Amino acid sequence: MFTVKLEKECGCFKRSDFSNNVQFGSKDDALAEALNMSKEMNDLFCQKHEFNVVEEGDLIQIQVSEQARSGCCGGGHCS
């Protein structure tokens, strides 16, 4: 089994329809799901974080970078 895991669940993730620690029977399916999730999160979430996929054996981890990609002002309306 291969697991897609988000290393840190931000507020946007918690409010989304995404699930964490989802298991797949094949590495290809897990990797495809992780890449799709990270793309959607990078495109649709508040952009305080950047999401990147890293393969670690049977774990496909979506890592979270704390650096804002969009230059969020930090005024609280993004979260």
What is the per-residue pLDDT for 27?
Answer: 96
**pLDDT recorded at residue 78:** 58
Interatomic CA distance for residues 76 and 7, integer angstroms: 23
Please tell me the predicted confidence (pLDDT) of residue 73: 52
Most distant CA atoms of the chain, gap in Å: 42
Buried b (16+ CB within 10 A) or exposed e, 45-70: bebbbbbebeeeeeebbbebeeeeee
Looking at residue 39, what is its pLDDT? 96
Per-residue pLDDT of the chain (79 residues; tens, 9 = 90+): 999 999 999 999 999 999 999 999 999 999 999 999 999 999 999 888 999 999 999 999 999 987 655 555 555 555 5
CA angle 32, 52, 7 (to 5 degrees): 95
